Chain A
Amino acid sequence: MRRLWCVVFLASIVAGGVVSPFAVAENEYGYYPGVTLRVAILSGDHPVPWEKFVPRFEEMTGVKVEIIDLPWEELYTKIFLELATHTGIYDIVELAGFWVPDFVVNNLLAPLDEYYEKWDWAFEDIMPAYQKIGVFAGHRYSVIADGDVFALYYRKDLFENPVYQAEFKKIYGYDLRVPQTWDEYLDVAEFFNGREPNLWGNEAMLSRVHGPMIFMQLLHSFGGRFFDPYTMEPEITSPAARKAIETMVKMAQYMSPGAPAHDFTITRDNFTLGYAAMVVQWADVGSWSGTAPESKVRGKVGTALVPAGVINGQKFQRSELAWNWQWAINADSKHKEAAAQLLRYMTSPEVSREIVSMARGYDPYRRSHFENTQWAAEWFPGALEFLAGLKANMEYGVYDLYIPGAQQYLDAVGKHLGDILTGVVSLDEGLRRIADEWNEITNRWGRESQKAFYQDYLRTYWGWKG
């Protein structure tokens, strides 16, 4: 009898050992026991969704995931240094969209094409504007994690105030409405500036780091481009670029003190605390206004199209798909397949929908985020209108500069923009300095190769036929 029980006991252990891997492996994300993945992401809000959803992935796949959050100041530097020195510390890294080319040209990221061919990523569910993002030199190197798009956020209560409507009409000769053009935007900003205590006409990101995002928005709004695609000569002194900077200078006049230092956090917080009538910014403003406990404008915020630019009689309706956090795999990772599965899981329609609803710096980017809106109705007052506004802007989405050295080109803009805004240099001198620095950067990277990359960027993201 005892022998029989021993046999049964041993048989059950063996059966369990044989059956259980197969049972777990039937989940769509595979089974990778003993694998540890290290994920480097921005600290603050970003780890929260990871900490919530990773345990389920770990349970399903046997993978152990370590989240390493890096402060904003160190994110690009630390990730680049670790990958460039091949320490292999990180398997997955979080990058801004325009950082990706720097990593790719140095062979630091693993191409994801094979994983896209092998598995279902619900790719068609991604909004068309974001489907191309992550593609560089004909290959996909990253997945979209954050549907960044600029939108115009405005205070509905101010715009709907009949007293303000009458006064505006009297001064400007047309009805107060959500600005359709940047000229109207400046009129409205001027009108509301100081109209109430602690109310400024607008907020805008003008700092060294974030100012270039607004510059790109305005450059594209006025029909401009970065370089001549045939010579790589900077077009920073073009009428469009000039008008972009002039507009930023005027925006600064209708902002709270310290305008040249206003970054993403300051503009978001100032608007949600009720200090500004309007702001053109990321979706974080819209969701933060509705969800942050300290918000003073809950239920009062409207979302609209970024104003169009009008130059030489031509009108350009464009909304910048600025920044876009993306996730990529280290080329030195020993667990690329497991890492790709983790990315597939985190960007899956079900998980990503919950992530974007947490308002933790990851914004909607899938059709399902906008179509299945039961969750949005319960999110915050005005959430449905907010999502509709985002989606409308995505229809006019235009892309950041995606060539090697983009960070340096944009830093040159941010640096000299500050000098222009503070009057240290004139507009012409500031633009000349940016052009000179852009030429230096292009020469350092290699003019011919930069030209090739820029032409490829125009073809991929702008449909350029040249």
Chain B
Amino acid sequence: MISLFGRHYRAAKWLGFIAPCVLVLLSFVIFPLVYSLYLSFTDFSLTQVGYRFIGLRNFLDIVRSTEAKKSAFNTMLILIGSVSIEVVVGISVALMLNRIGYSRSIFVTLIAIPSLVAPTAVGAIWKMLLQPNGLVNYILSALGASPIDWFGKPTFALFSIIIADIWQWTPFVALIFLAGLTSIDPTLYEAAKVDGADSMQQFWYVTLPNLRRTFAFAVLFRAIDVIRFMDTVWIITRGGPGIATQTAAVYIYVQGFRFFRIGFSSAAAWLLLIAVSILTGFLLRLIREKQ
């Protein structure tokens, strides 16, 4: 073997090790990305023979489209609604878990269960729970409140998506914050106590600043997930009523896989990627320590 490659044997050896991975990356990531970028500048559709290069027309149509803008707006609403509550509740749960001693692992395992359920199953469960005569309305009626029309009113339909997302991913966010909490140097708390800080002041001046990176990571992780959120929405509301809960990902799915407008949906997917990249860049700057 050494004689086959001569003095390049060492390089060939390493290339041989990484070649399968590179091949997979090229085939399933790089090539589809590049090809989809190319298609986004065409009017390629599976339902029509032939296609043409149309420049930026797809992108302009999307930017001008009321439906696309509404879908993006819905995505932002779900993002803000879900992630903000997940972070607040997640930190609270993490703080409680951090106080638990040797039985913590049992609680960690239990609360992680929702995150392990498939999103389509989560959608199906919450669709049943939020039916007009479902368990949630039954409980509301028992408490003397009026049942809610979860799927017939746009606002409540949006809440139904947010509730399902919060139920599934808050535990995961809590685990991220728990990891962050356990990494905080305990001597900082001792120093704060010595300085006379009470628990609220310790939380505000020690815990939160040291969780800045964890916070940004959790928000980034969840934001990327919510932006490409499709399956749970599809199961619960199908983007309805009308397009009241249609997210960007659902919009792309419908255009690409219902109407087979591959060029158009590729352009929409690239716009979504750009939006996610901008958000990621912004949050990553928060993660980096100030000089």
Contact = CB atoms under 8 A, between A and B. Distances in A.
Q: Which 5 A-B residue pairings sit nearest by Cβ, starting from the closest?
A: A418-B242, A260-B241, A419-B242, A261-B151, A258-B152
Which interface residue of A76, A77, A105, A258 has the most chain B CB atoms within 10 A?
Answer: A258
Nearest to B258: A77
B90 interface: no
Interface in A171-219: 207-209
Which interface residue of A257, A420, A421, A445 has the most chain B CB atoms within 10 A?
Answer: A257
Given A81-B257, A417-B242, 9 more contacts: A80-B260, A81-B46, A207-B238, A258-B151, A259-B152, A420-B242, A421-B241, A433-B66, A444-B43
Contact of A424 (B48, B152, B154, B239): B154
Contact of B149 (A106, A257, A408, A416): A257
B244 interface: yes
A102 interface: yes
A104 B138 CA distance: 49
A256 B135 CA distance: 17
Nearest to B46: A84
A415 interface: yes
29 contacts: A77-B258, A81-B46, A102-B47, A106-B49, A207-B240, A208-B239, A208-B241, A257-B147, A258-B149, A258-B150, A258-B151, A260-B151, A260-B152, A260-B241, A260-B242, A261-B151, A261-B240, A405-B47, A407-B258, A411-B254, A411-B258, A411-B259, A418-B242, A418-B243, A419-B241, A419-B243, A424-B242, A433-B66, A444-B45
A261 B259 CA distance: 22
B68 to A, nearest CB: 12
A73 interface: yes
Interface of B: 43, 45-49, 66-67, 131-132, 147, 149-154, 157, 234, 237-244, 254, 257-261
A81 B257 CA distance: 9
A446 to B, nearest CB: 8
A426 interface: no
Interface of A: 73, 76-77, 80-81, 84, 102, 105-106, 207-209, 256-261, 404-405, 407-408, 411, 415-422, 424, 433, 444-445
Contacts of A80: 46-47, 260
Contact of A258 (B132, B239, B258): B132
Nearest to B45: A444
B61 to A, nearest CB: 9
A293 B178 CA distance: 51
Given A102-B47, A419-B242, A419-B243, A261 B152 contact: yes
Nearest to A425: B242
Contacts of B47: 80, 84, 102, 105-106, 404-405
Contact of A445 (B48, B157, B237, B254): B48
A208 B242 contact: yes
A257 B132 contact: yes
B127 to A, nearest CB: 10
A209 B244 contact: no
Nearest to B153: A422
The majority secondary structure among interface residues of chain B is loop
A229 B207 CA distance: 70
Which interface residue of B43, B149, B254 has the most chain A CB atoms within 10 A?
Answer: B149
A410 to B, nearest CB: 11
A411 B243 CA distance: 11
B260 A415 contact: no
A145 B253 CA distance: 30
B240 A418 contact: yes
B242 A415 contact: yes
Contacts of B48: 106, 444-445
Contacts of B46: 80-81, 84, 106
Contacts of A106: 46-49
A418 B242 CA distance: 4
A261 B254 CA distance: 18
Nearest to B234: A73
A422 B244 contact: yes
A374 B66 CA distance: 56
B259 A407 contact: yes
A433 B260 CA distance: 21
B260 A257 contact: no
A261 B241 contact: yes
A256 B152 CA distance: 10
Contact of B67 (A405, A415, A420): A415
A408 to B, nearest CB: 5
Given A261-B152, A404-B47, A445-B48, A419 B244 contact: yes
Contact of B132 (A73, A256, A422): A256
B73 to A, nearest CB: 12
A422 to B, nearest CB: 5
Contacts of B45: 444
B81 to A, nearest CB: 18
A361 B163 CA distance: 34
Which interface residue of A106, A261, A416, A419 has the most chain B CB atoms within 10 A?
Answer: A261
Given A256-B132, A257-B149, A77 B257 contact: yes
Contacts of A444: 43, 45, 48, 261
A209 B152 contact: no
A28 to B, nearest CB: 38
A139 B153 CA distance: 45
Contacts of B67: 415
Contacts of A261: 151-152, 157, 237, 240-241
B257 A422 contact: no
Given A106-B47, A258-B152, A418 B258 contact: no
Nearest to A405: B47
A209 B238 contact: yes
Which interface residue of B47, B66, B151 has the most chain A CB atoms within 10 A?
Answer: B47
Which interface residue of B43, B152, B244 has the most chain A CB atoms within 10 A?
Answer: B152
Contacts of B258: 76-77, 407, 411
A416 B244 CA distance: 10
Contacts of A411: 254, 258-259
